Amino acid sequence: MGSIKPDFGRTLSSAPNALRPLVFSTEQLPTGEQWDAWRAFMGEAIELDISSAPSSPFIAEHALWDFGRFALTRAVLPAGGPVRSWRHLRRQPLDHWCLVLVPRLDGGAPRLYLRSLADLFEAHGNDSRVISLYLPRDSLGRIAAQLDPVTGELIRTTMIDLLSDYLLSLEQRLASCEMSDVSAIVRATEAIMIACLSAGGAEEIAHARDGTTLSLVERARRIIRRDFFSQELSPDVLARSLGISRSGLYRAFEPYGGVRQVIQEERLAAAHVALADPERTESIVQIAERCGFGDASGFSRAFRRQFGYSPSQVRAGGAAGHRAGIPALSTRSGDGCLGQVLRRLHA
């Protein structure tokens, strides 16, 4: 498979606490393996296909910055190559929002798209540079549910153009950022997104919608995120809270891997945040219990399956001041790197 590199062809800050991306590249692979390697790497988020087998090298690079509350990625692909098609995974366990910015080679206004990984989506193109921002649904607060009707290419307005400019500027300046800048970047990014998307039309649409039309899944997720710490939270309890049958609840969550899986993912994400906080003094067992896990060994196994490393590694990383307590990825191939980051994002 491809290789993981510490930089992305730009001058990075030489400070010891520089904010460095994780970069995946196909450049060092044999030409005949490059496309398959790229397809496998991106398979954590989307399914890729291609109109015809590349007859020339498919040299592509993907840079990923993990901010804990969101992830920013930049993909650089061969210009003028074969048309690529992509679709969201049919059994996508994530419901993150994804803002996709496509700069134009001619210097014109970039195109900005808003998508939910939970929705079925297919498209095609041969863009050579794509910037994507992944963030949990709840990161957008009160406007999260209001954005569902406006997914797709966002109509250009002053505020949408401002959001595009911000994403471009953020991506260009990350090379000089340091770890101490992360909290401020997170706050600024979330505030700008809420302000621009609200002004861009979400609130007007929301005023025309009755609050009771929130999707069943959205209402269920709100209850899960409110009560995940309770060991009593179960599909039965959730179904009663929603006033629906258990079979109806199971059907609604089938595309997300099942309601039990979603409950567990919320608990694990909350535990990850707590373990990475150097100010938290509870033991790993206590944190597991606070996040709804009654069995410490079961928690450790589930945590490792979800994130690819142990709770103790996160605790050690947080104490050492590493980014969000995240241990360094040991893989050289890039397998699972994108998926690991997306799964641990937490609002």
Domain with CATH 1.10.10.60 in the chain: 215-344
Please provide the distance, in angstroms rounded to a whole number, between the alpha carbons at the two ends of the chain.
32
| Half-sphere exposure at residue 295, Cβ-oriented, CA atoms within 13 angstroms | 5
Q: pLDDT, tens digit, for every residue of 89-143?
A: 655 567 788 899 998 776 678 889 888 877 766 666 667 889 999 988 777 766 7
What is the edge-to-edge ordering of all strands in the sheet holding 61-66? 3-5, 22-25, 61-66, 71-76, 129-135, 97-102, 111-116, 152-153
**Residue 203: what pLDDT?**
46
> Per the CATH hierarchy, to which homologous superfamily does domain 215-344 belong?
Homeodomain-like (1.10.10.60)
**Distance in angstroms (rounded) separating the CA atoms of residues 283 and 196:** 41
**Residue 17: what pLDDT?**
76
β-sheet bridge partners, residue 114: 99, 152
Query: For residue 41, what are its two tokens?
Result: 């790497």
Task: Say which amino acid occupies 6.
Answer: P
Which stretches of the chain score pLDDT less than 50?
Answer: 1, 3-12, 201-214, 319-334
**Distance in angstroms (rounded) separating the CA atoms of residues 343 and 25:** 22
Which of 35, 31, 51 has the alpha carbon at shortest distance from 43?
A: 35
Q: pLDDT, tens digit, for every residue of 302-311?
A: 998 888 788 9
By the 10 Å C-beta count (0-12 exposed, 13-18 middle, 19+ buried), 13 is classed as middle
Q: By the 8 A CB rule, do 123 and 85 touch?
A: yes
**Residue 324: what pLDDT?**
47
**Residue 49: what pLDDT?**
79
The model's pTM is 0.64
